[in-house]
């Protein structure tokens, strides 16, 4: 990316890293920059758009509330609602339960570091139908599959995902410091 990298989420890419670890590095860099929640939501949205290019995937500013738009969650694909957060709490679990009551399938997607807490909340509030997964796992498994589990092809898919992320953020976010710097080592593969 030909930009002043001091303004963007900067991380180091290495072909020997797993895709899971690369996503984790991006989220950690976003956390250090104080933008983890915003980047988490936008990277899941970009991934859904990348994975389902012929489907409409919402691309709203981070600050746009679901209620304002009448959305069931952060993203919807088919009959499934996706909620993305770095800090799972009771009100979100209650919203997940309302989605279930409306006949929707529900994914609660959190960073790996919040996975245990999210699962405990889902269990505590008796919502076993909510599928809880980490952002890193959710994205990396599919990127690895798209790349047919070949390191170079997986790297191309990761690069394409990050280009889509940057395009979506650039289109709808005022805070351009949420853009992810794509390391030259990833761009050159």
Beta pairing class for 80-84 and 105-110 = parallel
Q: What number of CA atoms fall less than 13 Å from residue 40's CA on the CB side?
A: 29
C-alpha 9, offset from chain centre:
15
Of the candidates 151, 173, 155, 133, the one whose C-alpha atom is nearest the C-alpha of residue 7 is: 173
Per-residue pLDDT reduced to its tens digit, 11-56: 999 999 999 999 999 999 999 999 999 999 999 999 999 999 999 9
Angle between helices 19-32 and 36-51 (to 10 degrees): 150
Rg (CA), the chain: 16
Q: Which domains does the chain have, with CATH numbers?
A: 5-187 (3.40.1350)
Q: What number of CA atoms fall less than 13 Å from residue 110's CA on the CB side?
A: 22
Per-residue pLDDT reduced to its tens digit, 94-147: 999 999 999 999 999 999 999 999 999 999 999 999 999 999 999 999 999 999
Confidence of residue 1 (pLDDT cuts 50, 70, 90): very low
Length of the chain: 189
DSSP per-residue codes, 152-167: HHHHHHHHHHHHHHHH
Q: Which residue has the tokens 């890193």?
A: 136
User: Percentage of residues in the chain with pLDDT exceeding 70?
Assistant: 92
Per-residue pLDDT reduced to its tens digit, 132-160: 999 999 999 999 999 999 999 999 999 99
CB 84 within 8 A of CB 58: no
Round to whole Å and give the CA distance between 128 and 16: 36
Dihedral (CA of 108, 53, 43, 69) sign: negative
Beta pairing class for 105-110 and 131-134 = parallel
Instruction: With H, G, I as helix, E, B as strand and everything else as coil, classify residue 81.
Output: strand
Beta pairing class for 75-77 and 131-134 = unpaired
pTM over 0.75: yes
Q: Where are the beta strands (DSSP E) in 25-161?
A: 75-77, 80-84, 105-110, 131-134
């Amino acid at each position: 990316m030909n930009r002043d990298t001091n303004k963007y989420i900067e991380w180091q890419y290495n072909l020997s890293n797993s895709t899971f670890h690369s996503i984790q590095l991006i989220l950690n860099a976003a956390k250090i920059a104080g933008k983890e929640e915003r980047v988490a939501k936008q990277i899941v949205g970009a991934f859904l758009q990348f994975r389902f290019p012929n489907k409409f995937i919402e691309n709203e500013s981070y600050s746009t509330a679901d209620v304002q738009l009448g959305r069931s969650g952060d993203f919807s694909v088919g009959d499934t609602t996706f909620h993305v957060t770095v800090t799972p709490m009771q009100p979100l679990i209650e919203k997940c339960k309302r989605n279930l009551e409306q006949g929707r399938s529900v994914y609660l997607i959190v960073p790996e570091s919040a996975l245990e807490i999210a699962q405990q909340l889902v269990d505590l509030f008796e919502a076993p139908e909510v599928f809880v997964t980490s952002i890193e796992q959710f994205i990396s498994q599919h990127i690895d599959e798209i790349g047919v589990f070949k390191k170079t092809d997986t790297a191309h898919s990761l690069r394409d995902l990050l280009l889509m992320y940057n395009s979506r953020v650039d289109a709808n976010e005022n805070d351009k410091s949420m853009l992810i710097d794509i390391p030259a080592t990833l761009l050159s593969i």
